[in-house]
Amino acid sequence: MQPKNKITSIIHIKMGLLQERFKSYRVPQKYMEAGVYPYFREITSKQGTVVDMEGQKVLMFGSNAYTGLPGDQRVIDAAKAALDKYGSGCAGSRFLNGTLDIHVELERQLAEFECKDEALCFSTGFFVNSGVLAVICGREDYIICDERDHASIVDGRRLSFAKQLKFKHNDMEDLEKQLQKCDPNAIKLIVVDGVFSMEGDLANLPEIVRLKHKYNASIMVDEAHGLGVFGREGRGVCDHFGLLDEVDIIMGTFSKSLASIGGFVAADKETINYLRHTCRTYIFSASNTPAATAAAMEALHIIRTEPERIEKLWKVTNYALKRFREEGFEIGDTESPIIPLYVRDAEKTFTVTKLAFDNGVFINPVIPPACAPQDTLVRFALMATHTEEQVETGVQVLKKVFREQGIIK
């Protein structure tokens, strides 16, 4: 047995090495010292089109709450009722003691919503992609991803033993080249975002489906930013293209249009049965809280019964797209309520974010690794509850800031 002081000395040396490694990481401090650090701002009000942030009211154009439901009283009341009935948490995983009847009911509703046999609910959307992709394909199989897929997809495929292939963003010719590299008899899973979260453009699902049949592949679509926005009753991009039956696996999140936290995967009953018993992020994570589950279920009900909400979202989205184009902003190929305003300079991206905030407009900066170094942008996102007047205020503030920085004329 080693003397206590020797053990303490070894621990100190090991901790010192770890701390020394990260001592030189000063990138955040660089932007803090410049006064343009944009992250972790504290909000002291409900999420909405206007929020209280750091002592001022700002227009919120940085939210993923496309349906505008996080502050809806019906959603809040549903969460409160579940909290009263079931308590604050389940204290266990779905696999053991953590399954509630409302978990099962929400899964039933989501499966019906996405026209699939069954669904599984996870405690976060990130856990859906990172867990499902880790187990869905074996060593002799292939996972083929768009190069701009979400980080949760990237992490999921990294955890998989399957062979990994990537294709250029929405480049169907390159996707076909990757498929041609695969063993014809192996499972080939093509994984794409339905709506790409930074650029706002859509996956070319019609062409992906054509290649699916040509090469006997399967398709998984991340509907995180499509649910509540596209398709009948907000079913997503797969329904928007009329291809729900052609997509084998659909995932979605509760943290955006469904005004809560969590996620789900929907597929045929055999696939869900396999995931239910093998997916580690499902089996070994505590189940979603009663309040979050009830909130998501109420939000889903509202989306399905209030089509005018999605109509309002598209009305204000189309207005914003028109105005940004008229004012000379570079917005790329977006077809959604996600509007990228390209800056193409990391330093200026932080600067315009800070100047917009100072003028009462909150937007999100996007820099590597969320985009390529030459594609830095600020992300302007719409909710169904935004008004055209609020959008116009945002356009005018950003026009002034972008002109001052020499980004637009």
The residue written with tokens 């914003």 in the block is 320
d(Cα 178, Cα 236) in Å, to the nearest integer? 26
Other CB atoms within 10 A of residue 305 CB: 9
369 preceded by cis ω (within 30°)?
A: yes
Active site residue 256: yes
Cβ contact 323:395 at 8 Å: yes
Helices (H), 24-166: 27-33, 73-86, 101-113, 125-136, 151-159
Cβ contact 245:212 at 8 Å: no
SS3 238: helix
The residue written with tokens 């701009």 in the block is 148
Active-site hit among 103, 150, 163, 225: 225
Cβ contact 213:204 at 8 Å: no
What angle (nearest 5°) sits at the alpha carbon of residue 23, between those of residues 20 and 26?
160
184 preceded by cis ω (within 30°)?
A: no
Cβ contact 393:361 at 8 Å: yes
Active-site hit among 116, 256, 312, 386: 256
Cβ contact 281:300 at 8 Å: no
Active-site hit among 152, 197, 255, 336: 197
Active site residue 169: no
**83: Cα separation from own chain's centroid:** 26
DSSP 138: -
Q: Provide the annotated active-site residues.
A: 197, 225, 256
